[in-house]
Amino acid sequence: MKCLSLSLLSFVFALLLQQCKPSNPYLAMEERELASGVRYDSLFFGFQLGMPADSFYASCWKLNKQGLIHEGASNTAVHYDLPNFKHPAGMDFYPGFHEGQIAEMPLLFAYDSWAPWNKDLTADSLKMEVLPLMEEWFGEGFLEIKNPKPSGSSAYVKVDGNRRISIYNKLDQAVKVDIVDLIIKNKLDSLSAAQAQ
């Protein structure tokens, strides 16, 4: 009998600890996906996380010759004119490389005619067009992260294995999408933390 009440007490204590533990759906998603050991490297237009830099440049050259992409602002990015958006819009992108391979792919979306007085062309409106495009490219399952500030805007995030995709406003005129290989990011973060000590 004493053993049974001790087991019951342990169970209740474990249950209470679980209830007190703060739950964070994003952290749970990231932990679950990284633990799966599955790699998701596909991006868009045939680009991949882990793609060598020279293959990225060769692919851009081919896509440029096909007229799909062209030079972005100040020759610092690649530009893609987005079809099927309510208003003309574009996407600029240029990868971050680690050891000569794509480790992240930041994307910047903006309406061509954005102006502060053009309320239909704000980042919040644009984000509602970018989200379905990202779901088309990477599948559904984006988690909405609400901003605690009343005037703040929500962000969206999805983790598939090693690949994290974050969608959020960049000021009022653009939407930023960051696609990151979490395995490389976590490794670099750990190295930075170790060097800072």
Read off the pLDDT of residues 101-153 as tens digits, 9 standing for 90 and up.
999 999 999 999 888 888 889 999 999 999 999 999 999 999 999 877 766 78
Q: Which residue has the higher pLDDT, 191 or 24?
A: 24
Per residue in 40-65, pLDDT tens? 999 999 999 999 999 999 999 999 99
Q: What is the mean pLDDT of the chain?
A: 87
The predicted pLDDT at position 146 comes to 87
- On whether residue 92 sits in a domain, the answer given is yes
Total number of domains in the chain? 1
Classify residue 1: in a domain, yes or no: no
DSSP string, 71-92: E-GGGSSEEEEETT-SS-EEEE
Lookup result for tokens 């903006």: 110
Which helix (H) or strand (E) segment is 36 a member of?
helix 25-36
Q: What dihedral do alpha carbons 78, 80, 81, 85 form, nearest 10°?
A: -130
Where in the sequence is the domain holding 177, given as residue range(s)? Answer: 34-196
pLDDT tens per residue across span 67-77: 999 998 778 89
**8/93: higher pLDDT:** 93
Q: What is the pLDDT of residue 7?
A: 41
What was the pLDDT predicted at 15?
39
pLDDT tens readout for residues 17-37: 344 445 789 999 999 999 999
- pTM value? 0.83
Residue 23 lies in a domain: no
Domain presence at residue 10? no
* Greatest Cα-to-Cα distance within the chain, rounded to the nearest angstrom: 80
Separation of first and last alpha carbons in the chain: 52
